[in-house]
Chain A
Amino acid sequence: MSEIYSLYVNGVRRDVRDAWVGESLLFVLRERLGLMGSKGACEQGECGSCSVMVDGELVCSCLVLAAGAVGQPIVTIEGIAPEGAPSDVQQAFVTAGAVQCGFCTPGLIMATHALLERSPDPTEFEIREELSGNICRCTGYGRIIDAVQRVAVARRADGDAS
């Protein structure tokens, strides 16, 4: 059974046609809408690679029923910054060497933006707890934490200067 429904992804209305309504948001983003930035690995909310914002909350898109998210604002990694102009978090991940194979990176960028939005000056403990839903098998997390702290410091400096 299929029907047409619309999602609001990165500020744009996207129609989903001829899709089974039991599909996860992750599947719809990747396979129906061609947004390949959100990664699929565990399909059970354990790895965080598919993290997106739905209605302002960081969630695993693999655990969101796409047809249930009709009308809610959805932001994916593609909506974080225009192509070629990385966000401060994306740039800090590059600068700090927090990207190795890169598979977990989109999810971690989403989680880091959400973390710094709520807590602009997090402690290391807070960073570790807030990013605990994003698994990285390459870096050992040291450089990821370094990247988050760089953004916090830079944003504070910007705030002081203005």
Chain B
Amino acid sequence: MSVFVPTSLDDALAALAESPDATVLAGGTDLMVEFNGGHRRADHVVVVNRVPELRTWQHDGARLRLGAGVTYAEIEREPIAAWVPALAQAARTVGSPQIRHAATIGGNVGTCSPAGDGLPVLAALDAEIELVAADGLRTVRFADFMLGPKRTVRRPGELISAITVPVADGYQGYSKVGVRNAMVIATASVAIAVQHGRVANAHGSVGPTNLRCPEAEALATSRADMGTGHLSAEVIAECSELVRAASRPIDDHRSSAAYRRHAVGVLAGRQLRRAFPHE
């Protein structure tokens, strides 16, 4: 096994061009668990958490481009928290302070577990994932990036360089259930964003990808009063039911499918009541 620690993006891309199948290590909070447990081996590891180009963000008023190496500790704090409140809320539920100091948004996207806390937010916000390689750059919508549990369209030699999201112009929120508040992997989660008068929602841990529920989005968008924040309890209940029905959870060691289906409906309703507090 070899370990390479590039300190520039060019060096990182050159290393990946040379060893396209190298394992990319960002914060290490997923990968090191697998190394420690002997569940994963790698011939070449490229450590990208000291590449300065990946550690920055750019904000142009309407869009926020987060370098893949921005940590969840940075995302949960100002100024990023004010630009994408749902992502900040999700960040605050990632592991513990120790985990958030190391864990990066690019790593979350790279691992691409349906339980990844940032991912429902990126799905709801229709985030763009930037992939860069020695021979060029491409941008993929999150919905097209994630193929299944821990499966993505990232090609050998490519590095996730940035994630771009719209800056909030309405309510955003994230809710998650697990066995306790801290240090827990989501049993079910929901992200909601009201953007340009449209309601978007997406779900975590209740299907092979972080799916949205277009039926619930359309119903809430058409019936909500965006000016006054009114949405009737009946419509919220109907949206909850649509989300529940659209979920595709499985039974595993963390939860039963039945509980996950129930929980995601409850969380969707809770987030809609926060977005539209008046009946």
- Residues of chain B within 8 A (CB-CB) of A117 are none
Q: Does B111 contact A (CB under 8 A)?
A: no
Given the known A-B contacts A48-B96, A51-B98, are A63 and B3 also in contact in the complex, defined by CB atoms under 8 Å?
no
Q: Does A96 contact B (CB under 8 A)?
A: no
- Residues of chain B within 8 A (CB-CB) of A114 are 97
CB nearest neighbor in B for A118: B97
Q: Which listed residue (B3, B47, B183) contacts A46, Cβ 8 A? A: B183
- Residues of chain B within 8 A (CB-CB) of A22 are 1, 3, 35, 41-42, 45
Q: Does A45 contact B (CB under 8 A)?
A: yes
How far is it, in angstroms, between the C-alpha of A143 and the C-alpha of B32 when the chains are bound?
33
Q: Does B182 contact A (CB under 8 A)?
A: yes
- Interface size bucket, B side? 20 to 34
Report B95 CB to chain A, min CB distance, Å. 6
Q: Which listed residue (B1, B36, B98) contacts A24, Cβ 8 A? A: B36
Cross-chain pair count, CB within 8 angstroms: 94
- Residues of chain A within 8 A (CB-CB) of B42 are 22
Q: Does B257 contact A (CB under 8 A)?
A: no
- Residues of chain A within 8 A (CB-CB) of B61 are none
CB nearest neighbor in A for B102: A59
- Residues of chain B within 8 A (CB-CB) of A99 are none
CB of B102 within 8 A of CB of A57, answer: yes
- Residues of chain A within 8 A (CB-CB) of B29 are 45, 60, 63
CB nearest neighbor in A for B36: A43
Q: Which listed residue (B2, B5, B33, B47) contacts A44, Cβ 8 A? A: B33
How far is it, in angstroms, between the C-alpha of A48 and the C-alpha of B27 when the chains are bound?
16
CB of B45 within 8 A of CB of A65, answer: yes
How far is it, in angstroms, between the C-alpha of A67 and the C-alpha of B32 when the chains are bound?
12
Given the known A-B contacts A24-B35, A63-B29, A67-B3, are A132 and B96 also in contact in the complex, defined by CB atoms under 8 Å?
yes
16 A–B pairs (Cβ distance < 8 Å), ordered by A: A21-B1, A44-B37, A45-B29, A57-B73, A59-B101, A63-B27, A63-B29, A65-B3, A65-B45, A67-B5, A68-B47, A70-B5, A111-B97, A132-B181, A133-B95, A133-B182
User: Besides the contacts A22-B1, A48-B98, A67-B3, what 11 more A-B pairs have beta carbons closer than 8 Å?
Assistant: A22-B41, A43-B37, A45-B32, A57-B73, A63-B28, A65-B35, A65-B47, A67-B5, A68-B25, A132-B97, A133-B99
Residues of B within 8 A of A (CB): 1-3, 5, 25, 27-29, 32-33, 35-37, 41-42, 45, 47, 49, 73, 95-99, 101-102, 181-183
